[in-house]
Amino acid sequence: MHPLPPLLERAEVARRLRLIFPEGTPERDKCVRDAAAATVAAFLYIGAVEGADIWLNPVHVVRLGDTRMLFNADPTSRADYAKAPRATGERWYQDNSREQVRDEVIRQGLIPNGAVIERAGVPTTSSKPRYALAAPFAALFDPGLQGEALVRAAKGWADATLNPMALARIVSLRGSTDRDGGDILVRFPNGETRLLAPGPSSRIAQSVVEQFAPRFLTDPVVLWLSESAAKVAARDEGWIKRLRLRITPDRTLPDIILLDRGHSAADLKLVFVEVVATDGPVTEQRAQAFLGIAAEGGFDPSRVACVTAFLDRDRAEVKKALPSLAWGSHVWFASEPERLVRLLAEPGPLQGMG
């Protein structure tokens, strides 16, 4: 008989999940929510770990509870529950929560991130138990693994398991968090630098200037950069006057205005960027105001782009802003700097995935 893994309290499982799946992990919310902690605790309770030939059904999760975990932690009780999950005392969830456990936590969160494996040969319509923790993931819940050893083990698991894009997002967000304590140095395309006050808005602004501009513009210039405290951090008077742009405090202004000089005067483009750490995306109203500023300088709408920049697409502020984003505008995420989302304003042929 395969030995059962040692148990952890659900609160400790939850703490470890937040460490194992850092900011930037795809579908992180589904992997760290309360239901995910309950699910992993249930896997460990019945011993459904790769190699043990013991498999979990969502009913094992919803019928578990603190009473059983505390008073029925002996191997016989755990084995009996694996075979016939019956609730004892107060349970964590009701049976109608099984879909959340199966569809959101397991199928959308833990399986895609390599934490759970699925039993081969079980039809999708079958009610047989079919899930187990991947052995390397289960090892992260050893009670003897603590402190820096746990941190190193979690990072090692992520490096070996998560896909390269997920790792890039995690590294980007971890680096952003590390800079929270001090002023943020921004290096402009022309080599000049500016210091911005600490905070998430400044981190995103730095990424717009240093990551977005060189990737999506041919020859970028920072015309305007303001901080959240309504301070002007940078203003290129020479170019602003040359382009006949009226950028004054009484107008609706974005956080950043970029100029793409292109290869010739015919290639000039204006890019208005709103930095969103909590609120303030490019709405229809703001887009029209930005187009008005550009029109005064003789820019046709076809040579104007509006961009809302977020830290990461898994953040709450993205979901909050989505309904109000202007059609025809773009969305960019600092954690995935090579990607750009376009909100098409007019119908057209679908493009392939290649």
CATH of the domain at 236: 3.40.1350.80
Alpha carbon distance 290, 293 (integer Å): 5
The pLDDT value recorded for residue 5 is 93
Alpha carbon distance 66, 56 (integer Å): 18
The pLDDT value recorded for residue 159 is 84
Buried b / exposed e along 191-221 (16+ C-beta atoms within 10 A): eeebebeebbbbbbbbbbbbbbbeebbeebb
The pLDDT value recorded for residue 179 is 47
What pTM, to 2 d.p., does this model score?
A: 0.60
Q: Which residues of the chain have pLDDT under 50?
A: 177-179
Q: How many domains does the chain have?
A: 2
For residue 178, give the 3-state DSSP assignment.
helix
The pLDDT value recorded for residue 79 is 94
The pLDDT value recorded for residue 82 is 94
Cα 229-207-264 angle, rounded to 5 deg: 105
Rg of the chain on CA atoms, in Å: 26
**Per-residue pLDDT reduced to its tens digit, 189-211:** 988 888 888 888 888 999 999 99
What CA dihedral angle connects 144, 145, 146 and 148, to 10 degrees? 150
**Is 222 inside any structural domain?**
yes
Alpha carbon distance 188, 222 (integer Å): 7
What CA dihedral angle connects 76, 79, 84 and 90, to 10 degrees? 70
Q: Please indicate, yes or no, whether residues 142 and 192 belong to a single structural domain of this protein.
A: no
**Is 175 inside any structural domain?**
no
* Tokens linked to 35: 């239901």
**Is 170 inside any structural domain?**
no
Q: Please indicate, yes or no, whether residues 157 and 205 belong to a single structural domain of this protein.
A: no
**Is 173 inside any structural domain?**
no
Task: Decide: 184 and 195 in contact? Cβ < 8 Å.
Answer: yes
**Is 3 inside any structural domain?**
no
CB atoms < 10 A from the CB of 246, how many? 11
CB atoms < 10 A from the CB of 161, how many? 16
Parent domain of 307: 184-342
